[in-house]
Amino acid sequence: MKSGVKLLQASVVPADANDRATVERLIQLYLYDMAADQPFAIGDDGTYQYDLLDQFWEHPYLIRVADELAGFALVIDGCPITGHTPCWFMAEFFVLRTFRRRSVGRGALKSLLARHKGDWHIASQSTNSTAGQFWSKVTDTDRTEYAAQFDGADWTVRSFVSK
């Protein structure tokens, strides 16, 4: 981290049905960021198609810094990539660019791990090197990393236990 960068304290707040539209809008920014590395086509209506929110709306969270919205996380029971259960899986995780490299993502992850004790799998597509670097840096050093194939893509899965 560069000196002079102000670190920020993140909080993780459970999202409810009233927050769903906020998460849907944040997903558009999330997909826009990922489109730099992955082939996401934008629709004629100017939005990216995302069909997984119903499936991933098990344990939704908003990430905040003070009172400002900073991102979201979607945690689910069971790993869809490996089929491992019981296991927590980070289905989606996004921090707005303004809050990156300021410990917001690390702090949000720490809060989520404290809420969901036990086995965890966090995966990133091999084509998303930025996510891979982030997850390798912030997940427990006592983890196992391995390659997996899922839905026609190559993934790196990080497996560890939150105590």
3-state class percentages of the chain: helix first, strand second, coil last, to nearest 5 = 30, 35, 35
The CATH fold of domain 10-162? Aminopeptidase (3.40.630)
Domain assignments of the chain as residue spans, ordered by start: 10-162
Q: What is the pLDDT of residues 4-62, one digit of tens each?
A: 567 778 999 999 999 999 999 999 999 998 887 777 889 999 999 999 999 999 999 99
Where is 29: in which H helix or E strand? helix 20-34
Asked if omega into 86 is within 30° of 0 (cis), the reply is yes
User: How many other C-beta atoms are found inside a 10 Å radius of the C-beta of residue 57?
Assistant: 15
Q: What is the pLDDT of residues 96-148, one digit of tens each?
A: 999 998 899 999 999 999 999 999 999 999 888 889 999 999 987 789 999 99
The token pair that represents 70 in the structure block: 């900073």
SS3 of residue 18 by DSSP: helix
Q: pTM for this structure? A: 0.92
